[in-house]
Each structure stands twice: as structure tokens, then as C-alpha cells.
A and B are shown apart, each in its own frame.
Chain A
Amino acid sequence: MEDALQLLSKYGDDAKVMAGGQSLIPLLKLRIASFPYVVNISGLKGLNQIVEKGDYLEIGSLTTISELEENDLVKEKYQALHEAAGLIADPLVRNMGTIGGNVSHGDPSNDIPAVIIALKAKLELAGLRGNRNVDADSFVTDSFTTVLEKGEILKRILIPIPGTNSGGCYIKHKKSAGDFSVAAVAVHLRLEDDERVKSAGIGLTSVAPKPLRAVRGESYLEGKKLTDSTVREAAKIVVSESNPSTDFYGSLEFKKKVLGRITEEAIHLSFERAMVR
């Protein structure tokens, strides 16, 4: 890690970090970007573990999407993450692509950011001047832009261990297998003993220039008992927070319609899952 940080600081703007290369290499191949130096961090040791430590699940940034998808702990307790991982691209990409790369790329269509937003995760960044933590919802600042500073490497993702009575899911609507989404939503709910929503996390993919946290949708749900009409209302609020644009995947009206439907579905499903825990 130290060496990697040194190299990055030495070459500055001329260097780019590469993990699994699944986003970076296409950019280089299509000559959309080019860098004199590529710092390949995929061999760094100790950055592919998935462990619960203290209050957090720690995921090393070099954990591949496949490792995430197949991890039993994730499957059991972090369903949204498990589901999102299984819906990313195809097995070839998942075997190479890393969670750190997926988040650091800053692509509003990448699936992991919305999930870690909903799970209220923190990201641990390493730099020569030391480590710092940032909240998942402030990590990506715009299309393909993050708070990562020159010479910084994303080291770990820290997800608060969900308490009892909580559950979540990730619903991704896509045209064909292997595609990016038309729209996708991650929901994580924690319930009170009386089934009221204690806390809600909602993250959105592909419906704004960056992955979004549906802040108003979350606070609308908090303290409420879930009925069909509150869920419908929550979905409406979430849609109003989105800002999709018309493109080949569909018009913005279509994307909003899709988002509304999957959000309703995701809140219902998360609630059911929280109830059985």
C-alpha cells in the first residue's frame, strides 16, 4: 500500500489506479482516456477480506464482485448487497471487477454505490498523509467524480452491522441480462417492535447524474406504519427526488415510472424481510 501511494504521489496526474480494470480498460481501449502510468493495485495483500469487526462489516476494496456475491455472511445479513452483486454485468466481469473499483469509478449506473448509501456505509480512504473516512452518500459528487484526492486509494468499505428487525433488498430493472439498469433502488429498513419504521435507507442507481440518497423518502417513512398507501406515497416522494435524463434506455418519464414501481416493490419486500428477523 505504501508503495502504491508513493507511486501515485510521484506521478500525480500522470498516474491512474487500476484494480480489476473492468471500467478502466474499456476507457483506455476506446481512447476516451489515456494515462502514461497505470498503478495496478490488484496484487495488494489484505484488501479482499469480508469480516464483521466491532460495529461494522468491513469489506476490503479489492474484494471482487463475485466474492461479494458468494460470501455467506453477505448473503445472510446484507441481502441488498448480495442481490446487487449478482445483478452486475456477467460472471466474467464479476470475477475481475472489485467493489472498490465499482464505487470509485463514480458511474451513476454502477450498482454498488446505491446499496452502500442505503446501508449508510462509510468509506475508508488511504493517503500518504493518513487515512480518512467519508460517508457513502457524499463519496460520489457528480458523474464520474468522487471526493478521492490525488494519490488517495479507497481501502475499505465499512457497513454498520444491521440490528434486529431489519431487512433490505436491491431491485434492478434492466433491459437484458448483463445490462446496466434503466433504474434501480436499494432499500434498507429497520423496524420498531411495533412494526413502525425506525430507520430507512434508500439509494438510487441510474436516475440522476450521480448515485442518490432519497433523503425525503427516507424521512417520510421513518416513524410510519407501512400500509399500501404510505408505501405508494413514499415511492412518489422518492421519484420526485430523482432526476433521470432521457437516453437510449428510455425517456425520463419512463424511468420515473419504472423507479416508482420498483421502489414500492422494494419497500414492501424490505418490510417483509425485516419482519422475519
Chain B
Amino acid sequence: MSSVRWEDMDTAYDATSLVRGKGHFVDDIRLSNMLHMSVMRSPYARGRILGLKGGMSSADFKGKLASVGEGASPSSALSIEPVFATGFVNYVGQPVAAVFADDRYRSTDLLDSIEVDYEPLKPVVTIDDALNSGPIHSGMNSNVLVEATQGKDFPDPNTPIVLEDILENDRVSTNPIEPRGIVTDYHNGVLNVWISTQSVNSIKTGLVESLGMNPDDVRVMQTDTGGAFGSKGGLYPEYVIAAYASMKYGKPVKWIESRREHLASTNPGRGVRGRVKIFAALNGKIAGMKGEVLVDAGAYGTGSGGFSAQYIGFMMTGPYSIENAFVTGRALLTNKVPQGPYRGAGRPEASYFIERMLDLLADELKMDPADVRLLNMSDKPFESPLGMRIDAARPFFETAVNELEYRREAKLTKGVGLSFFVLVPALYTGESARIIVKGGRVSVWLGGNSHGQGHEVFVKKLVNEELGVPEDIVTLYRGDTKMTMVGEGSWGSRSAMVGGAAVVAACRKLKGDVLREFGNYTADNLLSGSYDEFVNDETRRSINSFGANLATVEIGKMGNVKVKKCIAYYDVGRALNRDMVIGQIQGGMAQGIGQTLHEVLSYNEDGQLITSSISDAGVPLAEDLPNFGVKIAENRSILPHGAKGVGESPTIGVPTALIRAIEKARGKRLRKTPVMPEDLME
């Protein structure tokens, strides 16, 4: 039987091996007798399958997907995605059948041997289509997947200013450099899985559920993961098919996603529309906010659409002390690939809705946008009517206005935008860590798995601080369900917080072990022995943080936007490593610019994906990016190591500041991302 011939250190995170081109990615795995899998996908957004010949399909395997990972939302049985399209297809790119061969070219050629006969049906493509057409799944009453309200409805306050607007974020592909991929190998009754992922534990839970397996018979191991941005935490049909095929054929199976498949079939983020109404006094004080959030959930409830509809609503008062707020959220089914989390996962959308309204209010009252914002903040902690708890906001943001040199910039530049936000990290349900001390080395595993953020850096530092051992004998290994039997995942700005807290907790347990054994703790005592500690640290309190962004732009005569300045001022808690924090922020700012100016998944009226290549989907390029300015405030959190969240801050703060800067430069209200040159050309 074959196995992956990787040395011990090949399964550790090591950024230096990545820059030397010596990473260990899933596509690097070559097992003997390995089959390559190619997937036949639906060419129609909606249709009936009249006949299907060839390949592996729903005739062979009737399983359904499990909803696991970030924003997993169990939904009604009627809207759960089948592993293979069964009877109907519901989005372009939906897996219909799979073929296997001993190399990738041959498996791709084999796709021609499959014959599918479709009866195309009229697809439900847009949010409006979803509201106005019959349900895409028979048995449902409408296309409403989830409806949820936040806060309590209230009579319209009798204020002189009432503003209402409709605001939109179009869908965005997550587009990590490395698309999805998996290798499955079933032997001796155990399914071994190597995968590019944010969470080995989610993948395991998902496979166990979809395949009806015993958890003890599944082991999921993470490979080096070249980015994910939310799209690699959940289960997808291809994973289940590859696992099933390995069991059926008794051979290892590899599936590597192409970029085209990624754009069509990997859950994208955003895709929301909000109708927001605010009631304000003439001095700018907001008395109430009402919102209606519509999420384009795509064809099945197995993505995160249902979760988004509630989560966006929850955060919609932002850092402002708005006493009355009520939001209805609805996730709507459309004939498109299911929506999923994308860096921010609801946070950027919520912030976009409230920040666009504060700018509108400032313009209406001819007030400075910074002043309107500060006026609506409190000097005390505040619990919003939607249930979100924040610290005293005004002191932080007054400092932010100065740190960003906003007032000076506003005098000098027409195209300037400012944004304020609260980051709500996904701390629930905590995280697990395991530390093994043996042979003078410290080996660490986390339940949430780095997909390029460099978790090893904070882990080494925390172990060094807690246990007094040198960093170079500490190794963080990639995710492996054999080492962490439970665990959550790396997303929602959580890893340094809850992953870090778990590492600290495990270290303290080790210290206790040493103390009991030796009567005192020293690093030498620790390293002379063998210890194994596992914790699943449950952090239930929310620990939010504040951030602010400034952007300035110039607009060219063809409506092309040049970003001149893009500056962040974020409270990151204690910065465990400043360079890593700055790197996170700069990368996220590039994505924020991407969402605002370039990135979109566009579908035509037939539900066909128009942006089917990476150049069309519009990733930001070096020429689009200014010199970033990153300033950080370090107000320790209540966690033992003081960390707060950071990963999602820039994708929350940049789009709102940037769209405002463009709006000011152009002198025209803007309601939708991305902002296209044609919206701006005079």
C-alpha cells in the first residue's frame, strides 16, 4: 500500500520553505496507482436531467452534502445540495458526474465519454428573480431559504431627517492562489484524506456525515494551503466524490481544481443587497435604523447564505450608539453556486450598509462625515438593540481621526473617504491545541489550520513566553485529525485569539505537569521529560475591536480610479508579531481595493458565468495598489496573551472608505461595489 513519503518536518508549517518553492501542497502528492478525477459539470443554470450515461453519478452514489465549517447553517432538507446533481441541475458548474483515469489529461479526455441529456429550464438568476419567481426546489413555498429578524420593530421616530437607500455588494470569488484540491486513500478500513483546507476537523465531520462513516475510520490531514479566504472551510461535492471513489476502486484518488472550476463552483462571497432607512435629528443624531437585508444564497442551503442573512443584521449598527434598530434578513435561493464566507463573511456587508448611510446623512446635513460619526458614538460601552456589545467607541475614533490625519487630508483633497467599524471575531466555540514534549522538542497542533497566515510565528512566541523554551525547538504541524480529535477552524479573525488562548492553556497544563513531577517548573525539567497535553479552550465571551480607514483617490478621464492613499488604524490588541500584523493588513487592503474596483462574478440572464477567467474576475494588480499606511493601536484584550482580531479588518474598512473617496471625487452617490469606470466617466 502506498503512503505519502513526507519526512516529519515536511508536515510542519514553514514559510521559508514556501518562498524557496519547497512547499508540500496537495498536488505534490503522488501515490502509486493513484487515479485522477475530473468532474462533469452542469452547463445550465437550471435544468432537468433527462438522461445520463457514463461516469460515476447519482446512480452510483446518492449522498447529500453536510453543512460544516464557518457559517454552516443547517437548512431544510429540501435545499441541501446533493453530492451529484440528482434529477435536476441548479447552477452552472454543479457536479453531475465524475470520471477517473491514471493521469489528469486522460481523465479530462474521458469527460467526452459522458452523455447527458438536459431539458433547460428558466433559471432564477438575480435577487429580484428570486423574490418574483416560484421556488427553484419543488416542495418549497418560495425562494426564501431563511428569514430572520434582529432587534425589535419600533414605530418610526418623528425626526426631521429620514433617509433611505438601497446598497449592494456584488458577488466576489475568493480566488486563493492555490485552488481547492484533495487526495483520498482508503485502505485497511481507514479513509485517509490530504486536503488544502482551513479546518481538518470540519472536513472530517462533513465526510463522516455525508458518507455515513464512523469517525474513527476517517483521518484528515492538511497539506500546505495556498490561501483560502473562507472558501476552504466547508465541504464540497468533489471531496465526497473523491472519498467515495477511493473506497469503491480501492485506489487513491486525486482531484485538483482548475481556475475555471474555482470561479464557477467554489462558494463565492458577498452577493447582498440592503435597503436601509435611518431617522435622524437635525444635529445629526440618529434615532433609529431599519434595515432589510437580502442575501443571494445561491442554489442550496449548504453554503453560508442562511447564516449571512442573520449575521449581517446583527452587526448593522456598527460602532454607533443607535438606540432603536430592527433588521429583517432573508437568504434567497437562486440558480447560482451557493454563497459562502469570504474574508469578512458578513462583517464587510454590515459595515458597508451603515457606513454608506452615515455618509449620506453627512451630505444631507452638510456636516463633516467624521463629525456625524463621532456624534453618534458613546463614551461608554454600548449594547446595541441588535445584541452586539461594544466598548466605548468615541475615545478610540477621536484618536483614529488624528492618527489618520483625516482633517488635514480633507482640506487638501476632494476625493477622501473615512470609515469606522467594529470587528466581531468568530470566537465561538473556541479552539483546540495539542502540545507534545518529547526528545527535547516541543510539537504543537492546532484545531484551526493556517492557510498561509503564518500561525507558526505566534505559536512559537507564545510557547516561548509561557514555557521559557527557545522558539527554534518549537514546531507547529499542519492540521491532522489524528492529533486534534476536535477543533474548529481558521477563519473569522480568530486564530491568534482562540488558537493562541488554547496554546497558552495547553502550556499552562504542561507547566502544572512539570510542577507536580519536579516540585518546580523549569524549561530544562520540561524538556527532559515526555508530556502530551490537549485542550479544547472554549471562549464564549465576545471580544470586539475597533478600526478605521482612510482612502484618497483621483479619477482619470476614462473613469479609472487611482487609489492615492490607503491607511489603516486598527486596534489589534497586543501585536504578537508586528510584521505579521502589518502583512495581514496590507494583504486585506489589497482585497478591499479589489472588491471595490475590480472583483466581481457576473452572470448573464441565463445564469451563465461571464467572468470565467481570472483576468475577467478581476484580481487587484500591483499597479492598482498605493503605498499602504498601517498604524496599529495595541489595547490588550482580556485573553491571557492579549490578542484581538485582525484578519478581516481591512476587507471591512477599506471598501467603505474607498467608495466614499470615489463618491466625493466624482460628486455622485455610489451604491454598489464594484464601482466600474463606466459609472464614473463624465
Contacts and interface: CB of A to CB of B under 8 A. Distances in A.
A248 B621 contact: no
Contact of B678 (A31, A177, A247, A254): A254
B598 interface: yes
Given A248-B611, A250-B677, A250-B678, A258 B621 contact: no
A253 B679 CA distance: 12
A247 B678 CA distance: 12
B610 A247 contact: yes
A173 B623 contact: no
A6 interface: no
Contacts, number: 37
Interface string A240-277: 00000001101101100110010000000000000000
Instruction: Indicate the size class of the contact surface on chain A.
Output: 10 to 19
A179 interface: yes
A176 interface: yes
B681 A254 contact: yes
Interface in B308-360: none
A247 B612 CA distance: 13
B611 A258 contact: no
Contacts of B611: 248
Interface string B651-682: 00000000000000000000000001110010
B602 interface: yes
B216 interface: no
Contact of A177 (B108, B558, B621): B621
A185 to B, nearest CB: 13
A176 B624 contact: yes
A15 to B, nearest CB: 21
B617 to A, nearest CB: 10
Given A261-B557, A261-B558, A254 B616 contact: no
B16 interface: no
A175 B677 contact: yes
B677 A254 contact: yes
A265 to B, nearest CB: 9
A182 B681 CA distance: 14
Contact of B598 (A31, A176, A251, A257): A176
A178 B616 CA distance: 12
A204 to B, nearest CB: 16
Interface in A131-177: 173, 175-177
Most-contacted residue by chain A among B260, B557, B558 (CB, 10 A): B558
Contacts of B615: 176, 178-179
B678 A251 contact: yes
A176 B623 contact: yes
Contacts of A176: 598, 615, 618, 621, 623-624
B676 A250 contact: yes
Contact of B558 (A178, A179, A248, A258): A258
B602 A257 contact: no
Nearest to A265: B557
Interface in B595-630: 598, 602, 610-611, 615-616, 618, 621, 623-624
B678 A248 contact: no
A3 B618 CA distance: 44
A175 B677 CA distance: 9
Contacts of B108: 31
B677 A248 contact: no
B598 A173 contact: no
Contacts of B557: 261
Nearest to A262: B558
Interface string B252-275: 000000001000000000000000
A134 B580 CA distance: 61
A254 B677 CA distance: 9
A247 B616 CA distance: 11
B621 to A, nearest CB: 5
A173 B681 CA distance: 13
A185 B618 CA distance: 24
Given A175-B560, A254-B681, 11 more contacts: A30-B260, A31-B108, A173-B558, A175-B618, A176-B618, A176-B624, A177-B623, A179-B615, A247-B610, A248-B616, A250-B676
Interface of B: 108, 260, 557-558, 560, 598, 602, 610-611, 615-616, 618, 621, 623-624, 676-678, 681
7 contacts: A248-B610, A248-B616, A250-B676, A250-B678, A253-B678, A254-B681, A257-B681
